[in-house]
């Protein structure tokens, strides 16, 4: 099913898949068990520039980071039935945000990256729990809260260091650095507590055109995918309980794609290498049928 829009993010909640596109107020909804079946299209009329969509298992809500314009943006809250509201800023938390990225912890806390270098963590009801401003030479692409109550941060720019993936505390002080020299770590996902690889991190490096697995000490464990196997990965969605990894990116043929990979099982344990591609064109034939799309 061809699209002219650029895929900006994918989220799964229940048995539905939600997809947002560049510069579009529409959220396309698909049946996750039959991904060729589009169920409906939801709209947030004032949404201008969605950068990411996530699902929060704790609240059973979707959240969309909308950068909107060059001055300020907002975070939208969306129900699966289409009800929506502006979650942030709010009367309770009026400080402007320009959200490039959002992540949800298992307890419902949200981490919002406000471009270029500010991290904010919010409670379930939207109260700001902490605000961290990193050095001005740094530009943050993505951040999550760890089970150690620290932030794991991916940078696209850091003039005074080659370290583009690092862990910082709630005051912004360095806790540890990842020794891997990334080119542009656009996005990453963490394996949850209880998973065999809990604490491990899967990183998408857009410029190096690779997906890399780090161990729980942020040291290189495995190059899962490299140049030639995928093009310019931008977003990742990991479903560890199903052994599935979704990758959004753009191809050399200037088309967008959503590829689906399966973690193989060895000896009853989830084994991320090698990844087995279930379908680069799932849920849509973006790689083969769509041309002329911009980069993600």
CATH number, domain of 163, equals 2.120.10.30
Look at residue 2 and tell me if it is in a domain.
no
Which domain does 80 fall in, by range?
7-289
Q: pTM for the whole thing? A: 0.88
Look at residue 204 and tell me if it is in a domain.
yes
Look at residue 217 and tell me if it is in a domain.
yes
Q: Comparing 63 with 282, which gets the higher pLDDT?
A: 63
- Would the pLDDT of 185 be above 50? yes
Look at residue 147 and tell me if it is in a domain.
yes
Q: Stretch 246-271: mean pLDDT, rounded?
A: 67
Number of domains in the chain: 1
Q: Stretch 283-294: mean pLDDT, rounded?
A: 26
Mean pLDDT for all residues in the chain: 84
Look at residue 1 and tell me if it is in a domain.
no
CB 259 within 8 A of CB 250: no
Look at residue 296 and tell me if it is in a domain.
no
- Would the pLDDT of 268 be above 70? no
Look at residue 104 and tell me if it is in a domain.
yes
DSSP characters for the chain?
A: ---SSPEEEEEEETTEEEEEETT--EEEEEETTEEEEEEEEEE-TT---EEEEEEETTTTEEEEEE--SSS-BEEEEE-TTS-EEEEES-SSS-S-B-EEEEEE-TTS-EEEEETTTEEEEE-TTS-EEEEEE--TTEEEEEEEE-TTS-EEEEEEEETT-S--EEEE-TTS-EEEE--S--S-EEEEEEPPTTSTTTT-EEEEETTTTEEEEE-TTS-EEEEEE-BTTBS-EEEEEEETTTTEEEEEEE-TTS-EEEEEEEEEEETTEEEEEEEEEEETT-SS-HHHH--S----
Q: What is the pLDDT of residues 7-44, one digit of tens each?
A: 899 999 989 999 998 899 999 998 887 777 889 999 99
Look at residue 183 and tell me if it is in a domain.
yes
């Amino acid at each position: 099913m061809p699209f002219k829009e650029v895929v900006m993010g994918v989220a799964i909640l229940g048995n539905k898949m939600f997809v947002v596109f560049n510069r579009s107020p529409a959220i396309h909804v698909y049946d996750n068990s039959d991904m060729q079946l589009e169920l409906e299209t939801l709209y947030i009329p004032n949404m201008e520039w969605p950068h990411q969509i996530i699902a929060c298992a704790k609240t059973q809500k979707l959240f969309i980071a909308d950068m909107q314009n060059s001055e300020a943006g907002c975070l939208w809250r969306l129900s699966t039935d289409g009800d929506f509201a502006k979650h942030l800023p709010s009367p309770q938390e009026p400080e402007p945000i320009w959200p490039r990225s959002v992540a949800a912890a298992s307890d419902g806390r949200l981490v919002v990256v406000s471009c270029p270098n500010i991290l904010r963590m919010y409670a379930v009801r939207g109260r700001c729990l902490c605000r961290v401003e990193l050095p001005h030479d740094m530009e943050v692409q993505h951040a999550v809260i760890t089970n150690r109550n620290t932030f794991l941060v991916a940078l696209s720019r850091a003039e005074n260091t080659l370290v583009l993936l690092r862990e910082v505390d709630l005051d912004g002080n360095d806790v540890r650095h990842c020794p891997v020299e990334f080119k542009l770590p656009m996005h990453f996902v963490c394996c949850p507590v209880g998973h065999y690889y809990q604490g491990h991190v899967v990183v998408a490096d857009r410029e190096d055109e690779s997906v890399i697995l780090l161990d729980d000490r942020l040291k290189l464990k495995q190059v899962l995918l490299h140049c030639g196997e995928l093009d310019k990965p931008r977003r990742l969605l990991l479903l560890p309980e199903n052994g599935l990894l979704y990758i959004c990116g753009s191809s050399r043929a200037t088309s967008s794609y959503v590829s689906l990979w399966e973690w193989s099982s060895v000896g009853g344990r989830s084994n991320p290498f090698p990844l087995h591609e279930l379908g680069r064109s799932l849920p849509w034939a973006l790689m083969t049928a769509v041309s002329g799309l911009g980069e993600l």
